[in-house]
Amino acid sequence: MIKQIEGDYLDSNVYIIEKDNQVLIIDSGAEIDKIKEVVGNRKVVGVLLTHGHYDHSQYCNVYAKYYNCNIYANKHITQTLSDGEAIYSEDKSVIQDFSNFIFLEGDGKIQIENFSISYYYCPGHSICCECYLIDGDLFAGDVLFDRSIGRTDLKYSDKNMMIESLKKLENLIFNNVYSGHGNSSTYAEQMKNIKVYKRFLTR
């Protein structure tokens, strides 16, 4: 089961993934009460962050402490979370407590309780973007949207990195893409989307 929750800032998405009465949370832009309502009595085994922008990360430590679980994120996320300009919070507030974090590097696989997760380092929108493939579905944060991709004009963004990330994702097999904003999209839709934006970015 995948449940989408609307975050509190810039309409970001938080995803609750349930399997065998265990829960993974993707991103942390919604107040904890919204999360508690969906999770109920099930066990939260981890929080996965797709990147360090405030609308996706602001409540990560609140979730981790309430559910006594770890936060998983790309190792470069500390660079974004601790930078008042790069995190893009309205008041330049930052996150500096990394005691609950487990840092991921490159591409790989990780087992969190009942969840088998493949992770892919996909910088471009930010230096710390991570995409997660879970049970055939891709959680892409702000790398891929329905008919669009993430901005590459922000601090720690990079157009050339985005091009390489799109090439990487183009070679994956998945069912649906669940994005950091907006609606989900299918594999077929994203193959068209990626092709268009690869061409756009290399003009």
Query: What pLDDT is recorded for position 12?
Result: 95
**Beta pairing, strands 130-134 & 137-141:** antiparallel
Residue 143: what residue type? V
What type of residue is 180?
G
Rounded Cα–Cα distance for residues 154 and 86 (Å): 8
What is residue 8's predicted lDDT score, i.e. its pLDDT? Answer: 80
Q: Determine the Cα–Cα distance for residues 3 and 197; give it in Å rounded to an integer.
A: 28
Residue 78: give the domain boundaries.
2-201
The CATH number assigned to the domain holding 20 equals 3.60.15.10
Amino acid occupying residue 93:
S
pLDDT (0 to 100) of residue 203: 77
Helix (H) or strand (E) holding 162: helix 159-170
Please list the pLDDT of the chain residue by residue as tens digits (203 residues).
999 999 887 789 999 999 999 999 999 999 999 999 999 999 999 999 999 999 999 999 999 999 999 999 999 999 999 999 999 998 889 999 999 999 999 999 999 999 999 999 999 999 999 999 999 999 999 999 998 999 999 999 999 999 999 999 999 999 999 999 999 999 999 999 999 998 888 87
φ, ψ for residue 32, nearest 5 deg: -60, -30
Encoded tokens for 125: 């929108």
Domain count, the chain: 1
CB 51 within 8 A of CB 80: yes
Residue 135 tokens read as: 């049970």
